[in-house]
Structure 1
Amino acid sequence: MSARTHPRPHPAAAPGGVDIRLPWWALALPTLAFVTLLVLILNPVDAQAAAGDPAITHLVERVQQLITR
């Protein structure tokens, strides 16, 4: 008497390929963290408290102007 085989619940991945599915938050959280850090870096209120090279200050202000357009 032969044993009955059970079908696989999910189709097998293509040979040589990888089937990866990420949840929505796996992309949303790093994006949110990046945007938050970028906003903290470009915040003009905190930029005036630091005494740094004027060229860097002008560069940061220029980048901020380009982003806010």
Structure 2
Amino acid sequence: MPAPTHTRLHPVAPSGGIATRLPWWALALPALAFVALLTLILNPSDAQAAAGDPTIPHLVERVRHLLAR
């Protein structure tokens, strides 16, 4: 009795590399998290745990000022 063969649902990837397809949210969620964290760094008064000397925002402002020249 012969065993059933399985057919591929997707075509075979070309020999030059690996073909992968990402869903839309696989790129959108990290980008959204990056923007949210960057917003908190630039405006630490919105963060609940913000206290003390805001060193990182001063550094970001200096970098922004140097790049604007």
TM-score (norm. length: structure 2): 0.57
Q: 1:50 aligns with which of 49, 52, 55?
A: 52
Post-superposition offset of 1:28: 0.3
One-letter amino acid of the counterpart of residue 39, structure 2: V
Post-superposition offset of 1:17: 1.6
Identity over aligned pairs, percent: 66
Q: Which stretches in structure 1 are left out of the alignment for 5+ residues?
A: none
Paired residue secondary structure (2:39): helix
In structure 2, the residue matched to 1:20 is: 20
Q: Which stretches in structure 2 are left out of the alignment for 5+ residues?
A: none
Identify if the C-alpha distance between structure 1 residues 61 and 7 changes in structure 2 by more than 3 Å, giving closer, same or farther: closer
Paired residue secondary structure (1:34): helix
Post-superposition offset of 1:24: 0.3
Identify if the C-alpha distance between structure 1 residues 30 and 13 changes in structure 2 by more than 3 Å, giving closer, same or farther: same
